[in-house]
Amino acid sequence: MNSRVPAGREPAPPPPEGKAPSTLAASALGFAVAAGLAGAVAWASGCHGDAPPGASVDKPTRTSQLPAPPPTTPPAPKGSARVATAVPADTRDAGADAAADASAEVAEAEKPYTGPLLGALAVQTPVFPTMESGKKRLGYIRLGGKVPVDPNPTKNASCQQGWYRLLDGGYVCGKYGTTDLANPQVRMGITSPNLEEVLPYRYAYNTAHGTPLYRSVPSKEDMIKYEPYLEMAKKARRKKKADEEAESAKDEAAKDQTASAAATPSASASAAGDTAAAPAGTEGAPSAPAPMPSAEVAAMLDAGAAVEEPAKPWWQQLEPGKPVNVTLKELESEADGTVAKRMVRGFFVAVDKTFGWNGRLWYKTTAGLVAPSDRMYIVKPPTSQGIDVPEGAKQVGFILATKSSKFEIDDEHKNVKVKGPAPRFTAVGLTGVTATVKSVVYRQTTEGWWMKGVDATYTEPGPPPADLAPGEKWLDVNLTRKTIVAIEGDKPVYAALVSPGRKSTNKAKDHSTIKGTFRIREKHIATTMDGDGTVAGDLPYSIEDVPYVAYFEGSYALHGAFWHSNFGREMSHGCVNLSPLDAKKIFFWAEPRLPRGWHAVWSTPENRGTLVVVHE
């Protein structure tokens, strides 16, 4: 399945650093390996969102992602720690001993894996259910990713290099994987996603039309050829400096002339002396201007065959105030051995590494391409998130207003007073009790204060799916309330805000989220979403490695959105946007389970996807 989204899914966002290789040779090798494989077909489609909240000054460190058992919830934030309480042996009963044994098993299972590993050699190394190649896959491992493996391959007609059996299920052909972790393609592969941070990668926003994505680090000549605006900017700086120096010299000359005039006895005497000293026609007198050439001479000077200037590309024909009409295909039309494609303002790339070259700072993207950092900036992701549903809460409420308060209401529900501030995105359990004071509706929280109804939204799940098994997980997405609830059987366990598709009476601009009951079909830690605009004047969009994506129907998906922080409002082109932290929470909670080291997984009858109910 292609990674590009059909027109009418996720929208083009309007305008809102990775380790440097130790040697130039190493970096060049890494780029060559990744770029050579970057053309591999991605097997998912997707959607996108809106403007990023701003630039980041943080530089999160990359951590080694050696395979560990997949968490049922996202990894704890840095700095947190589990607290164990010791229980004297003589005070424990049989139940406690059983619990201790179970805990010991969990602790054993959570130990880091130290056995043989298979390194992925392709951008998307396919995992098959049997030792046969085919269209049916269980998932894939990203270039450079490492997974637990039986190191003894089995050869057959469909894989002469031998099939490797993965300990968490599935088989990888030796054509796409190796147990030699010193292999350059493994060593220089894509940096593992950082699951301890808000986002798995850092993301850079492209600020100008025409920015090139190079296939490898460009030479100075290439930069001049493909980025003529650099030379224009240099000339502009030189001209500005020359103008400033000329202005300064003019000021100095004026000062000198003033001083000289002050030293002259009298104006008339000076004039008389000048006349005697410099008669007309003598050396030092100004010469007459040269006459302009005749029309015939001018024609001779211009003689010769006319040279037709090549047509300028779209990004050099931009005029202020005029819309940019370009498609993804046109952005790729300039592709050659040096440039992979051009970008429009608003494109995002996922940053794998940052490095210096030819006096500039560059980003190597997770797609193996190279982008100039001086045309981009790193975005700072939103950190809002939902909550675990409090025990006894009937609903969960979320403050949406930019300015709101916590309120107290007397027993008679007649008087209301402010108790304190209630910041936007405050999440709190609700008792289900409401009060109306002077026509204003308030909702009682499990913390004792009251929430003003018009400032907030709240969860309101629909009935469970008809084929739900006892205790089975499912997700309720309420398009009216703009909420999502993770439920186990009939017990809600987590609630958060979402941004569904934007509705419109204009069919071309209507991006309503699909309604119905579905199962998650596939999950990707990150996958690229791009496409053309749906109406004239719309820019194409491209968001590299959208985080924590769970597709449930066609190209409709639940996924993290780092380019806006307007959760609780309609924002997308059909997908269900969540804050990055909420998307990660749901991603690891929901099925199908993602095996250790894998980048994506598809559901199977044995590893079914979680039910998703989308309703008004």
Domain extent for 423: 387-458
For residue 52, count other CB atoms closer than 10 A to its CB.
27
Choose the final residue of a domain: 187, 204, 222. Answer: 187
* DSSP-assigned letter for residue 19: P
pLDDT at 283: 43
| pLDDT band for position 252 (cuts 50, 70, 90) | confident
pLDDT (mean) for 59-81? 45
Examine the domain organization and report whether 447 and 503 are in the same domain. no
Residue 545 pLDDT exceeds 90: yes
Per-residue pLDDT reduced to its tens digit, 288-314: 444 544 444 444 444 445 555 556 777
pLDDT (mean) for 100-111? 59
Examine the domain organization and report whether 493 and 611 are in the same domain. yes
Element (H, E) at 103: helix 94-109
For residues 178 and 461, give the distance between their C-alpha atoms in angstroms, rounded to a whole number.
47
Classify residue 401: in a domain, yes or no.
yes
| pLDDT band for position 108 (cuts 50, 70, 90) | low
Classify residue 133: in a domain, yes or no.
yes
Residue 89 pLDDT exceeds 60: no
Choose the final residue of a domain: 397, 423, 458. Answer: 458
Of 198-212, 246-260, 399-413, 496-510, where does mean pLDDT reach its minimum?
A: 246-260
Examine the domain organization and report whether 454 and 474 are in the same domain. no
Percent of the chain with pLDDT over 70: 70
Examine the domain organization and report whether 487 and 573 are in the same domain. yes
pLDDT (mean) for 273-294? 45
Examine the domain organization and report whether 532 and 486 are in the same domain. yes
Classify residue 482: in a domain, yes or no.
yes
Half-sphere exposure of residue 493: CA atoms within 13 angstroms, side-chain side: 16
For residues 255 and 66, give the distance between their C-alpha atoms in angstroms, rounded to a whole number.
72
pLDDT (mean) for 249-271? 60
Examine the domain organization and report whether 580 and 602 are in the same domain. yes
Per-residue pLDDT reduced to its tens digit, 445-454: 999 999 999 9
For residues 216 and 340, give the distance between their C-alpha atoms in angstroms, rounded to a whole number.
9
| Overall number of domains in the chain | 3
Classify residue 249: in a domain, yes or no.
no
pLDDT at 323: 77
580: Cβ contacts below 8 Å, ≥ 6 apart: 198, 199, 381, 382, 383, 547, 548, 560, 561, 562
Examine the domain organization and report whether 478 and 449 are in the same domain. no
CB 513 within 8 A of CB 483: no
pLDDT at 102: 52
pLDDT at 75: 52
Direct distance between the N- and C-terminal alpha carbons of the chain, in angstroms, rounded to an integer = 30
Examine the domain organization and report whether 562 and 490 are in the same domain. yes
Per-residue pLDDT reduced to its tens digit, 312-345: 777 877 777 777 888 999 999 889 999 999 999 9
pLDDT at 569: 98
Classify residue 131: in a domain, yes or no.
yes
| pLDDT band for position 158 (cuts 50, 70, 90) | very high
Choose the final residue of a domain: 458, 487, 520. Answer: 458
pLDDT at 105: 52
Examine the domain organization and report whether 453 and 475 are in the same domain. no
Residues paired with residue 524 on neighbouring β-strands, in sequence order? 549, 600
pLDDT at 312: 77
Examine the domain organization and report whether 413 and 506 are in the same domain. no
| pLDDT band for position 233 (cuts 50, 70, 90) | low
Q: Burial of 602 by CB count in 10 Å (0-12 exposed, 13-18 middle, 19+ buried)?
A: buried
CATH number at residue 549: 2.40.440.10
Classify residue 587: in a domain, yes or no.
yes
| pLDDT band for position 231 (cuts 50, 70, 90) | confident
Backbone phi and psi for residue 451, each to the nearest 5 degrees, phi listed first:
-110, 130
* DSSP-assigned letter for residue 379: B
Examine the domain organization and report whether 477 and 587 are in the same domain. yes
Classify residue 362: in a domain, yes or no.
no
pLDDT at 107: 58
Strands (E), 4-49: none
Distances (CA, A) of 598 to 8, 119, 150: 30, 11, 16
* Residue 243 identity: D
Percent of the chain with pLDDT over 90: 62
Classify residue 409: in a domain, yes or no.
yes
Mean pLDDT rounded to a whole number for the chain: 81
Examine the domain organization and report whether 518 and 610 are in the same domain. yes
Q: Is 615 helix (H, G, I), strand (E, B) or coil?
A: strand
CB 551 within 8 A of CB 218: no
Buried b (16+ CB within 10 A) or exposed e, 1-36: eebbbeebbbbbbeebbbebbeeeeebebbbbbbbe
Strands (E), 222-365: 339-343, 348-357, 360-365
CATH number at residue 411: 2.30.30
Residue 201 pLDDT exceeds 60: yes
